[in-house]
Amino acid sequence: MERRLTLTDLRALKERGEPIVALTAYDAAFARLLDRAGVEILLVGDSLGMVIQGRETTLGVTVDDMVYHSRCVVAGSRRALVMADLPFLSCATPERAVDSAGRLMQQSGVQMVKLEAGPDAEAVVERLAGQGIPVCAHLGLLPQTVHKLGGYRLQGREPEVAEAILRRAQALEAAGADMVLVECVPAALAARLSEALTVPVIGIGAGAECDGQVLVLHDLLGVTPGPRFSRDFLAGRGSITEAISAYVAEVKARRFPGPPETLA
């Protein structure tokens, strides 16, 4: 019987320099398709607030929503590691984080949670790790802070901000993070992060030198107008399966993201 990938498997991919392929998934049918195409991490992202629920931001997504969609994705997949987002404010304190992550893991069966690493994230990561809960720390552009940021834009172009992101990533790894996801930062910064950390660094809008890549499924299929760093893999291809397989192959060959999708 096929077994699920573990953090140890993903770390082994990083160690041998083989890019890790991740994609968002929100339901069982797509989870099955992505799993069979060789996607190694299925991220039940709170982006579901926008692409599934039609909201303007991710802020309205609840832990209940995440449990429901995560359960569907776990049910549809056999091999991929399934990771779910902790939605807005559900990890604002270590106590809330344990409660939210515990519900997600017990009620849906996901193997890992991801949190947007705000200023107090080290304490939250430490508490989760202490409870044996695998955590991915999301750095760079944090969509849950969009109203504070005033829009979705590149983070870490200024040298002092880039250094601060690098230091945060190292502090989060030291606190117990098992993975880092970095969104919308210059490719050179993401390459430094991947080099500096032992844990896998998964990028979105962060260049080809990360340890792995993730995209929002609906952007990859051209269902939603993706950001500049995304690519419509269905364009010019005959089926969704072909589009997903092309994404897997392009990431594994480090041909995605290419120069047009790379931010500096």
Q: Rounded to whole angstroms, how far apart are CA atoms 168 and 125?
A: 12
What distance in Å separates the CA atoms of residue 224 and residue 96, rounded to the nearest whole number?
Answer: 32
Known catalytic membership, residue 56: no
Q: Which is nearer to ligand KIV, 24 or 70 (CB)?
A: 24
Coarse DSSP helix, strand, coil percentages of the chain, rounded to the nearest 5 percent: 45, 15, 40
The interface with ligand KIV within residues 6-45 (CB under 6 A) comprises 24, 43, 45
Nearest-approach distance from CB 3 to ligand KIV, in angstroms: 25
Q: Does 63 participate in binding ligand KIV (rule CB under 6 A)?
A: no
Q: Does the footprint of ligand KIV cover residue 47 (CB under 6 A)?
A: yes
Sole binder of ligand KIV in the list 169, 172, 216, 248 (CB under 6 A): 216
Name the residue whose CB lies closest to ligand KIV.
45
- Catalytic residue, candidates 183, 209, 250, 261: 183
Report if residue 250 touches ligand KIV, rule: CB under 6 A: no
Q: How far are the Cα atoms of 59, 73, 142, 197, 198 from residue 171, in angstroms, in the given order?
A: 26, 31, 17, 10, 12
User: Would residue 64 be called left, alpha or beta, if left means φ above 0 and alpha means ψ between -120 and 50 degrees?
Assistant: alpha
- Under 8 Å CB-to-CB from 91, ≥6 apart: which residues? 97, 100, 101, 115, 124
Dihedral pair phi/psi, residue 90, rounded to 5°: -75, -5
Could you say which residues in the range 180-199 bind ligand KIV, by CB under 6 A?
A: 181, 183
85 lies in the binding site for ligand KIV (CB under 6 A)? yes
Q: Is residue 155 within the footprint of ligand KIV (CB under 6 A)? A: no
Q: Reduced to 3 states, what is the DSSP secondary structure of residue 88?
A: coil
Q: Which residues bind ligand KIV (CB under 6 A)?
A: 24, 43, 45-47, 85, 181, 183, 204, 214, 216
Residues assigned a catalytic role: 183
